[in-house]
Amino acid sequence: MYRDLTVDIERWPIAGRFVISRGARTEATVVVATITDGQHRGRGECVPYARYGETVEGVAEAIRAQKHAIAGGIDRDGLAAEMPPGAARNALDCALWDLEAKRSSISVAKRLGITPVPLVTAYTLSLGEPADMEAAAARASGRQLLKVKLGGDGDVERIAAVRRGAPLSRLIVDANEAWSEANFEASMQACLKAGVELIEQPLPAGAEEWLGEVKRPIPICADESLHVANDLAELVGRYDAVNIKLDKTGGLTEALSLVRAARAARLKVMVGCMVGTSLAMAPAVLLAQGADFVDLDGPLLLARDREFALDYPDSLVSPPSPALWG
């Protein structure tokens, strides 16, 4: 069976700025892998992430390097053996899932044995000064679930400000590794007072052993510390939840294994995303069916989205149409 692979780098403007503890961005740069067999087309989108040593050109080149393997009929299991987890493998893995669905006329959801439904997704508030974050929270206060980006010093005031701005919304927070042992307790107490339901990655990856020794009245979720199922063994006892992202696992195939492993370890599951278009979110929406927390608002942070975009009514994200993916 002949198959061809093409790779495209795309830039999508962000509505305003997206700010976390590691910096600010005004556009999302994504890489799209397209696999064709002459009649059908499968696509997968990934978002290279510098935090994990990835560059846009490096990821695009890693995908192009699999052109002969794709032409030779490599499957998803073979791809996992050939490539490390990360953004490049994610794009190819998801493109293969999409191509399989298009060729067989059997949707990915049906292959997984699920009937997907719309899910409540978090909506992200960027890191900023407390007054700015309070104003942003007030504008988003009609949404059911807000995800608050934090940055370390000053987070006590930021958390209180967001709660003032959105008194009725559920809250989760993401410190992006910016907390320390010195400010952990004060920040935790501020989160408790605000009714925060989940705290993502408070301490730097590799420096979280201390989490196993402290009380965790709010569940602590591993993000940067967790990529694939084999990472779980070192995290149990330190974390209460895991944030599963396709760009970390290397695609839907490994992500499904990670969900099963996390459930077996009695950890809560969040399905998250980088800032990308609906094409990147589509497989994650299927993965997130049954998750405890869903954070798939990437397209809502963009100034525009691609054709056949996901539907985001109110605080929900709907499953993808076949025209988009799967």
pLDDT digits (tens, 9 = 90+) for 16-47: 766 555 565 688 999 999 999 999 999 999 99
Total tally of structural domains belonging to the chain: 2
Same domain, 250 and 171: yes
Residues 162 and 256 in one domain: yes
Whether 313 maps to a domain, the answer reads yes
Same domain, 88 and 127: no
CATH code for the domain in which residue 183 is found: 3.20.20.120
Looking at residue 41, what is its pLDDT?
97
Q: Is residue 114 part of a domain?
A: no
Residue 153 lies in a domain: yes
**pLDDT at residue 284, as a whole number:** 98
75 and 12 inside one domain: yes
User: Are residues 141 and 12 part of one domain?
Assistant: no
Give the model confidence (pLDDT) of 309-324 as tens digits. 999 998 999 999 999 9
Residue 10 domain-assigned (yes or no)? yes
Which regions in the chain score pLDDT beneath 70?
1, 17-25
Write the CATH number for 24.
Answer: 3.30.390.10
Same domain for 92 and 175, yes or no, is: no
E strands of the chain, at which residues?
Answer: 4-20, 23-36, 41-46, 119-120, 123-125, 145-149, 170-174, 196-200, 220-222, 241-244, 268-271, 293-294, 316-317
Domain boundary among 105, 132, 156: 105
Residue-range definition of the domain harbouring residue 52: 4-105
160 and 295 both lie in a single domain: yes
Task: Specify whether 299 is located in the same domain as 234.
Answer: yes
Angle between the N-to-C axes of helices 56-64 and 87-104, in degrees from 0 to 180, rounded to the nearest 10: 50
Residue 136 is assigned to a structural domain of this protein: yes
**125-145 tens-digit pLDDT:** 999 999 999 999 999 999 999
pLDDT for the residue numbered 27: 86
156 and 217 housed in the same domain: yes
pLDDT for the residue 15: 84
- Please give the pLDDT value at position 20: 59
pLDDT value at residue 18: 65
250 found inside a domain: yes
Q: Do residues 74 and 190 share a domain?
A: no
String of b and e for 273-308 (b: at least 16 CB within 10 Å)?
Answer: bbbbbbbbbbbbbbbbbebebbbbbbbbbbeebbee
**Residues facing 316 on adjacent strands:** 120
Does residue 25 fall inside a structural domain?
yes
Q: Rounded to an integer, what distance in angstroms lies between the CA atom of residue 133 and that of residue 150?
A: 10
Query: Which spans in 10-71 are helix H?
Result: 56-64, 67-71
Whether residue 89 sits in one domain with residue 156: no
**Distance linking the first and last C-alpha atoms of the chain:** 20
Same domain, yes or no, for 98 and 133? no
**Which residues partner with 43 through β-bridges?**
34
